[in-house]
Amino acid sequence: MRLKQEYECPMCGLSSNLPRVSFPYYAKIDNFHFKYLRCKKCSTVYVNPPPSSKAIALMYKGSEYHYHYHNPSRVEEYQKSANLLFSYLNKGAKVLDYGCGDGFFLKLLSCNSFYCTGVEYNTDAVKYVKNNEFCEVMSTDSFQSELYEEYFDAIHLGDVLEHIPRPADTLNYILKSLKFGGTIFIEGPLENNPSLVYFSSYIFGFLKNIFYRNTALDSPPYHLFRVGGRQQYDFFLNRIDTDLELKYWRIYDTGWPYVEGKFIKYIIAKIAILFSGKKFFNTIFGNRFQAVFIKRQI
């Protein structure tokens, strides 16, 4: 008898053999095909199967991803995030930026008298940062090596969790490098949270799936799961082994990705921004979150 395959939700950990395909339905890169499944327990939508190491290498080939998504044209966003982190630190603090991309956030930190270390999966991005910034930068393999032992006053993960196949395991490992009393600042997208951009993209995607069934997205599945504010908050509450104290929690809207689109999408994005952070029907509207935690003393 053939056993049914079980799928584990990366956010709540539920294993199920009956998840259903959900928006945005399908994605592909070269000959690798993926489905988006909805968790029956927490409603997180996640990519299945998880990308293999070969698929991930194709997705992040070269530095194209980082040049497009992490660049100085977003300096205002980076600066606001840096200012939030600064408010919890003393000058000279040791800061780890996990998933540092092209190093722009590291540059903001180093220019404000912090001792910075970057960790990045993409080897080309690591070389780029090493050649352009005065910070220590290493690969994720080097950081996870048994020989590496360093502790930080603060850790930052900006738009990182959603790229990681097993976010709970990874975050629990990273937190071992945070000093007791230290600060961890995590920020990223809430792609399934109530937002005019989400509602619009869901409707457009639903109609496209009806008329062009089984059509895969044109881009690779960079984001391995899509969540709302409640799922993300519950993830921190239930899946993290370290004793953390929540100091700051914010949901807001940037209009992404429609804000970079043409006329109709741009208008939708601007309207979404008007509702940013506002509460309707006991739900905060927005497509991004920021969370700051302190690692409690034992």
Chain CA centroid to CA 264, Å: 27
Q: Is residue 2 part of a domain?
A: no
Of 202, 225, 248, at which residue does a domain stop?
Answer: 225
Total count of domains within the chain: 2
The CATH number of the domain where 142 resides is what? Answer: 3.40.50.150
Of 225, 248, 271, at which residue does a domain stop?
Answer: 225
Q: Which residues are registered as beta bridge partners of 27? A: 34, 217
pLDDT at 2: 43
Residues 287 and 168 in one domain: yes
Task: Report how far residue 161's alpha carbon sits from residue 167's, in angstroms, rounded to the nearest whole number.
Answer: 6
Of 225, 243, 271, at which residue does a domain stop?
Answer: 225
Which among 76, 148, 146 is positioned nearest to 117, based on CA atoms?
148
Sign of CA dihedral 99, 103, 104, 108: positive
pLDDT at 62: 62
The pTM (predicted TM-score) of the whole model is 0.93
Domain encompassing residue 198: 7-63+192-225
pLDDT at 271: 97
CB 290 within 8 A of CB 248: yes
Question: Going residue by residue through the chain (298 aa), what tens digit of pLDDT does each one get?
Answer: 444 567 899 999 999 877 899 999 999 888 898 999 999 999 999 999 989 888 988 888 765 555 555 555 578 899 999 999 999 999 999 999 999 998 999 999 988 889 999 999 888 888 888 887 678 999 999 999 988 999 999 999 999 999 999 999 999 999 999 999 999 999 999 999 999 999 999 999 888 888 877 666 667 899 999 999 999 999 999 999 999 999 999 999 999 999 989 999 999 999 999 999 999 989 999 999 999 999 998 6
